[in-house]
Structure 1
Amino acid sequence: MISTPDGVEVVATGADAAALALPPLLVLDALTEFLDAEGLGSGAISWQRIGEGHSNLTYLLRRGERSLVLRRGPRPPLPKSTHDMVRESRIQLLVKAAGIPVPDIVAVCADDSVLGVPFYVMDHLDGVVITDDEPAGLDTPEQRRATAFAAVDALVTLHGVDVGSGGLERVGRPDGYLERQVSLFSSLWDASTRRSVPEIASVASWLAANTPKSQRASVVHGDYRIGNLMFEHGAPPRVLAILDWEMATVGDPLADLGYFLATYAEAGAATTPLELTPVTRRLGSPSRAELAARYGAATGLDLSDLRWYQALALWKAAVFCEAIYTRWLNGERPGDRFAPTLADGVPALVRESARLIEG
């Protein structure tokens, strides 16, 4: 058994798992049987948790000469309609068929009896994800600027995918997307919180009263930021894959742009819990206004309501971060070092959303 601050993480057998108060995250005998049935590698499994892991969990697996990545949800119980690995994998397969760079999915498991939750397995990609550090070759002012612009260009390409065919037309309902977002997350707040946070209701009311009209429908990633992009090694920056599609749907493309800009760390701007790639504060990185201008020039979309989309992004983030915080308070995320920071982090997100509203 492998223990961590949040309980036993990996066990050898199902019998070991059954003896625990909290279910483990990997059960090696069941996982070995599944991988064998799928023809994915051979021999013993070595594993390593990778990524930030605040929501879903990602593991690098090695079996002989095969390197794989497994993605699964957190321990049950899970909030309704969240952490849907089967849906997430299906969307990635659809956008890959449309030419969007994503990892190759090689197996999907909808059977809860294997690991306790559904999961999927991808081929491992040899690239780099930029968060606290910059890879060699992308650490100059010129390459920092080019990296941020490459992220915008990849978003433009994603939003250019035809959502009227190829299966993507069944992924989401673009009509009324923005209105549903405000209504849904308002209800999620009520179901998720155990406290009163000033301005959460007033921001929701403003968003509902000032909802812009969507200009077109596109694939919406839902968590589009530099930390969810994998780049090739070396310069110039090239996006190897877009990662983490849990929140993807079909809706208003400016929702992605608003989230990207709201979470982009800009020199001199206030920090929030969503600042997961702080290196973009360094010399050479473009401003949010420059990134928005590049996107607008490439798409032809009117960005006059962009402030609304950025406020929506921060407000929504406050809601789903509150759900993480409440699960931690309930003892469902023991050992989570990120969740306690949300005691102050969620109000900070709401304040920043309100500040945007005030202009």
Structure 2
Amino acid sequence: MTEDREEYFERLVDEQSLSSYLTAELGPAATFGVDRHDEGHSNETLFVTWGERDLVVRRPPPGETADTAHQVLREYRVMDALQETPVPVPPTVLACEDESIIGSEFYVMERVDGDVLRDDEPERFATPSLREQVGETLVDTLASIHAVDYDAVGLADFGRPEGYTARQVERWQRQLAWAFERTEAVRAIPELEEVGAWLAENAPTDHPRSLVHGDYKLDNVLYAPGTPPSVAAIFDWEMATLGDPRADLGWLLAYWRDDTEPAVRDAVHAPAFTAAEGYPSRRDLVERWEARTGFTFEHERFYRVLAVYKLAGLGEMFYRRHLEGNADDALYPEMETRVPALAERALAIRDGKDPL
């Protein structure tokens, strides 16, 4: 570990303090170790060995963050509520509001075995029929989220589904404004103001209501070992709320490549292998989601533009954290050019130049 990475790790966790906390809550353990998981790009993920148990600690990044971002205890609440539902989530263990333990609030969950499909597909899925099942299972699992009776699982007050879509536009306008406070000194992106204004004018006022994940995409699910493909767990619930399920579908599509891709799509850090033979097209995903949920993907151009606008907002917040030295992630410096490219992609979708 380099000196800079070691210093950043020490900002994430006081290992002695965490050990004392786990001892008090779970009992003593003969072995204890902490490693940082480098693949995440938002909240920080720490792998913890606690005796015979493999645990995961989730906490916000260090330093100043945008309002409403990185709410890890909200993430814990929704996963805890979904434990006895058909939605696959990791077993929850503990939630801690005491920021004196490791420097922020955090939660603990069990580690689940399986594969995240991020840079390549597992060899066991590398046939056209199994690839098709990967995509179908991904959509079916999303539909299971949208089918949850949120009142019955104790999430009736988890959000305000009415007006969700318009509030999403307003929220991400604020997130971008926060990021621009620092990043505009490097380069401005006026196209995002144009996109935000179009979204505000075109937000659907009448939309379905359901639990939404907020960040549902291929590399936020874990596929169980073996075949046929099945989802063992869904991760990264920090943006979950009650709202418009079409927004989740638009977000999934923003990260899904098929075999006819405009170059501007390279702005998204999305797997290229889903363009291989067998994987469903984006239109296939839409049709399966409609069949599984009973909803229709009306106003598809709005939802796809909204997804890319939110991606731009996340990227710009990452870039601010990079400029302020509050991140240790090789992806963050790339946002200097990736976010302007996302703005161009959003305009292309709006103008019908990037069809479904």
- TM-score, L = length of structure 2: 0.92
**C-alpha distance in structure 2 between counterparts of 1:111 and 1:56, whole Å:** 17
Cα deviation, 1:267-324, whole Å, max 9, x if unaligned, reads 3314344333332122221110111111112222122311210110000110121011
Per the alignment, in what secondary structure is the counterpart of residue 289 of structure 2? helix
Q: CA shift at 1:327, angstroms?
A: 1.8
**C-alpha distance in structure 2 between counterparts of 1:80 and 1:202, whole Å:** 23
**C-alpha distance in structure 2 between counterparts of 1:5 and 1:156, whole Å:** 42
Instruction: Find the partner of 1:295 among 282, 289, 292.
Output: 289
Aligned length: 345
Whether the aligned pair in 1 keeps the contact of 2:82 and 2:153 (CA below 8 Å) is: no
**C-alpha distance in structure 2 between counterparts of 1:134 and 1:4, whole Å:** 34
Q: Which amino acid aligns with 1:347?
A: P
**C-alpha distance in structure 1 between counterparts of 2:13 and 2:86, whole Å:** 32
Per the alignment, in what secondary structure is the counterpart of residue 340 of structure 1? helix
Q: CA shift at 1:205, angstroms?
A: 1.4
**C-alpha distance in structure 2 between counterparts of 1:29 and 1:350, whole Å:** 44
Per the alignment, in what secondary structure is the counterpart of residue 35 of structure 2? strand
Q: How does 1:194-209 map to 2 (within 5 A)?
A: 194-195=183-184, 196-209=188-201
Per the alignment, in what secondary structure is the counterpart of residue 75 of structure 1? coil
Whether the aligned pair in 1 keeps the contact of 2:166 and 2:205 (CA below 8 Å) is: no
Residue 122 of structure 2 corresponds to 135
**Larger relative contact order (Cα-Cα within 8 Å, sequence gap ≥ 6):** 2
**C-alpha distance in structure 1 between counterparts of 2:3 and 2:301, whole Å:** 42
Whether the aligned pair in 2 keeps the contact of 1:136 and 1:234 (CA below 8 Å) is: no
Per the alignment, in what secondary structure is the counterpart of residue 62 of structure 1? strand
Residue 108 of structure 1 corresponds to 95
Runs of 4+ in 1 over 6 A off after TM superposition: none
Q: Which moved more, 1:49-58 or 1:197-206?
A: 49-58
Residue 215 of structure 2 corresponds to 223
Residue 69 of structure 1 corresponds to 56
Instruction: Find the partner of 1:170 among 149, 152, 157.
Output: 157
**C-alpha distance in structure 2 between counterparts of 1:241 and 1:266, whole Å:** 24
Q: How does 1:161-310 map to 2 (within 5 A)?
A: 161-193=148-180, 194-195=183-184, 196-270=188-262, 271-310=265-304
Residue 339 of structure 2 corresponds to 346
Whether the aligned pair in 2 keeps the contact of 1:58 and 1:70 (CA below 8 Å) is: yes
Cα distance 1:217–1:282, how it changes in 2: closer, same or farther (>3 A)?
Answer: same
Which stretches in structure 2 are left out of the alignment for 5+ residues?
Answer: none
**C-alpha distance in structure 1 between counterparts of 2:27 and 2:129, whole Å:** 41
**C-alpha distance in structure 2 between counterparts of 1:40 and 1:51, whole Å:** 28
Q: CA shift at 1:61, angstroms?
A: 1.3
Whether the aligned pair in 1 keeps the contact of 2:116 and 2:223 (CA below 8 Å) is: yes
Per the alignment, in what secondary structure is the counterpart of residue 96 of structure 1? coil
Cα distance 1:67–1:7, how it changes in 2: closer, same or farther (>3 A)?
Answer: closer
Whether the aligned pair in 2 keeps the contact of 1:265 and 1:275 (CA below 8 Å) is: no
Per the alignment, in what secondary structure is the counterpart of residue 124 of structure 2? coil
Q: Which moved more, 1:152-161 or 1:263-272?
A: 263-272
Q: CA shift at 1:162, angstroms?
A: 1.2
Q: Which moved more, 1:133-142 or 1:313-322?
A: 133-142
Residue 60 of structure 1 corresponds to 47
Per the alignment, in what secondary structure is the counterpart of residue 77 of structure 1? coil
Whether the aligned pair in 2 keeps the contact of 1:10 and 1:28 (CA below 8 Å) is: no
**C-alpha distance in structure 1 between counterparts of 2:3 and 2:225, whole Å:** 32
**C-alpha distance in structure 1 between counterparts of 2:138 and 2:28, whole Å:** 33
Whether the aligned pair in 2 keeps the contact of 1:264 and 1:275 (CA below 8 Å) is: no
**C-alpha distance in structure 1 between counterparts of 2:206 and 2:51, whole Å:** 50
Q: CA RMSD in A?
A: 1.7
Instruction: Find the partner of 1:320 among 314, 321, 329.
Output: 314
Whether the aligned pair in 2 keeps the contact of 1:273 and 1:342 (CA below 8 Å) is: no
Q: CA shift at 1:212, angstroms?
A: 1.6
Residue 16 of structure 1 corresponds to none
Whether the aligned pair in 1 keeps the contact of 2:57 and 2:106 (CA below 8 Å) is: yes
Q: Which amino acid aligns with 1:279?
A: F
Cα distance 1:166–1:65, how it changes in 2: closer, same or farther (>3 A)?
Answer: closer
Whether the aligned pair in 1 keeps the contact of 2:118 and 2:271 (CA below 8 Å) is: yes
**C-alpha distance in structure 1 between counterparts of 2:3 and 2:229, whole Å:** 36
**C-alpha distance in structure 1 between counterparts of 2:276 and 2:269, whole Å:** 13
